[in-house]
Amino acid sequence: MSLARMELRATYAFVERNANLIKRYWGWEVAWIAYSVANSVAVVLIAKSANAAVGREAFDEAAVDRLVLFLAVGAVVWHYISVLFGTVSQMVAWERWEGTIEYTFMAPVRRLTQMVGTAIFSVLYGLVHTACIVAVIALVFGLELHGADLLAAGVVMLAGSLSLIGLGTMGAVLPLLYPERGEQMAWVVQAALVLVSGVYALPEQMPEPLRTLSAFSPATYLIQGMRDALLDGAGLGTLWPTVVGLFLAGLLLIPAGVWVFRQGERYAKRTGRLKRSG
């Protein structure tokens, strides 16, 4: 049997296993989607009460609609980033919690294969979650997307996913090295990433040092590209520098993430941290 076929099977093992876990924990999935939808709708509702909040008719109807879309893109992308980064970065924490970490790390599987399998699942999972939120927001707010370039938005999202997978893989080293608090540390990193990336505010409007930090986050360009495509109808002809930049950042960050993770794994094996419990 060829090595490539074995690696493909192993890649699929992670996708299938995670899908089975979702199926078995369906109650949590329903709760998580309901929470995410409620959260996103609550954010977008801010736009609807913008005039009431400032006490005068500061925004006309078109401006309110644009603000709805601006916040909706932010809410949806926030969720997508959270799911993608979270699923990849928590893969070790999940295994440690279930007690299978030693078994998976003892199996004849390259770490890159494990990352790819986890990443494929997390992209699919993130897209399904995001689609649910988009559907509810569109229904509640009657979103007008006539001028939007959905293809360009999708391409930007996928190109940006590569960087998030790389960063998530780096984040996964925290639960590996810190059995007790690594999971919480990864959550803090995730929160910081979303904060500095301008989900609900343009980076140029943010205070320092957030503004400077936002320039280093690939998620900043992902969100900006999504807004350009959905709010202003920018096509791939306009957005190609963003797509290429995100793609190149992904090409850099994925191997960097795997390298960081492998160093962490080596350290964990030296110090005995690769075990089921903290």
Partner 1 sequence: MAGGEHERSGTALARTNGSLALEVEGVSKFFGGRRWWPFGNGRPRRVVAVDRVSFTVPRGEIFGILGPNGTGKSTLIRLISTLLLPDEGRIRVFGLDVVRDEAKVKRHINRVSVEAAFFKKLSPMENLIYAARLYGLEGGYARRQIVRILESLGIEGRAIRAPMEDMSRGMQQKVAIARAFLTSPTLLLLDEPTTGLDPHSKRDVQEFVLRLREEHDTTVVLTTHDMVEAEELCDRVAIFDAGRIVALDAPARLKEEVSRQLGRPATLEDVFLALTGKPLEQPEEVFDE
Q: What is the pattern of x (binds partner 1, CB under 8 A) and - over residues 164-203?
A: ----------------------------------------
Q: 171 phi and psi, to 5 degrees?
A: -65, -30
**Nearer Cβ to partner 1, position 22 or 248?**
22
**Nearer Cβ to partner 1, position 160 or 182?**
182
Contacting residues for 145 by C-beta, under 8 A, at least 6 apart: 69, 138, 230
- Give the integer Cα–Cα distance in Å for 179 and 96: 8
Q: Based on the shown chain and the rule CB under 8 A, indicate whether residue 259 belongs to the binding site for partner 1.
A: no
Coil/strand/helix, residue 30:
helix
Residue whose C-alpha is closest to residue 35's, from 122, 133, 123: 133
Smallest distance from partner 1 to CB 17, Å: 4
Check residue 57 and give left, alpha or beta (phi > 0: left; psi -120 to 50: alpha). Answer: beta
**In sequence order, what DSSP letters do the residues of 50-73 get, joined into one string?**
HHHHHTS--S-HHHHHHHHHHHHH
Q: Based on the shown chain and the rule CB under 8 A, indicate whether residue 1 belongs to the binding site for partner 1.
A: yes
Q: What is the pattern of x (binds partner 1, CB under 8 A) and - over residues 74-113?
A: ------------------------xxx-xxxxxxxxx---
Contacting residues for 19 by C-beta, under 8 A, at least 6 apart: 121
Candidate residues 24, 188, 212, 259; the one interacting with partner 1 per rule CB under 8 A: 24
Residue whose C-alpha is closest to residue 41's, from 74, 10, 14, 19: 74
Smallest distance from partner 1 to CB 85, Å: 22
Give the interface size with partner 1 as a residue count (CB under 8 A): 33
Smallest distance from partner 1 to CB 122, Å: 17
Q: Candidates 12-20, 33-41, 44-52, 72-80 — which segment interacts with partner 1 by CB under 8 A?
A: 12-20
Handedness of CA 94, 98, 99, 100 (dihedral sign): negative
Give CA torsion, residues 206, 209, 215, 221, to 10 deg.
Answer: -40
Q: What is the pattern of x (binds partner 1, CB under 8 A) and - over residues 39-78?
A: ----------------------------------------
**Nearer Cβ to partner 1, position 19 or 139?**
19
Q: Based on the shown chain and the rule CB under 8 A, indicate whether residue 5 belongs to the binding site for partner 1.
A: yes
Q: Candidates 3-11, 153-161, 173-181, 239-247 — which segment interacts with partner 1 by CB under 8 A?
A: 3-11
The amino acid at residue 273 is R
Q: 217 phi and psi, to 5 degrees?
A: -95, 125
**Nearer Cβ to partner 1, position 17 or 66?**
17
Percentage helix, strand, coil for the chain under 3-state DSSP, each rounded to 5: 80, 0, 20
In the complex, which residues of this chain contact partner 1 (CB under 8 A)? 1, 5-6, 9-10, 12-13, 16-17, 20-21, 24-25, 98-100, 102-110, 266, 269-272, 274-276
